[in-house]
Amino acid sequence: MAGICLPGTAYAGKSGSQAANEAPSCTPEMSIQGDARPSSHSVMLSWKASTSPSVVGYNVYRRDKASSTFAKINQKPIAATNCVDYFVQLQHKYFYYVVAADHQGAREGGHANIAHASIPRK
């Protein structure tokens, strides 16, 4: 389970830890569709809550080391201040940032920190 606190830390490792079981998926739409996970690893992300009253959730952006652009990985804003990215591949390094979203899903300000997680070989 790999993890990220934004601003804070990211933790990479094998899925199935207690923390991962308590956090929602970053990509619940993919989990519902039954998409296969590429590995037994995951990345745990967590961040501080926004104090803005218009914030209804958060959007998570990810890129891997080979890419130059970030892509949003969730379809709808995540209401919690943590999630687990189950769709990672072995031996990849990922970079993440999180932005607050309003009721229309639009960004509320910019992102703070970029965190990274390296997925091990096994």
- CATH code (residue 100): 2.60.40.10
Which residues of the chain form beta strands (DSSP E)? 2-6, 10-14, 41-47, 57-64, 71-72, 82-85, 93-101, 107-108, 115-118
pLDDT band at 104 (very low <50, low <70, confident <90, very high): confident
Q: What is the mean pLDDT of the chain?
A: 76
The total domain count for the chain is 1
Domain range enclosing 78? 2-118
Which whole number is the average pLDDT over 1-21?
49
| Nearest partner of 47 among 26, 32, 30, judged by Cα | 26
b/e for 33-43, b at 16 or more Cβ within 10 A? Answer: eeeeeebebbb
60-93 tens-digit pLDDT: 999 998 888 999 999 889 999 999 998 888 889 9
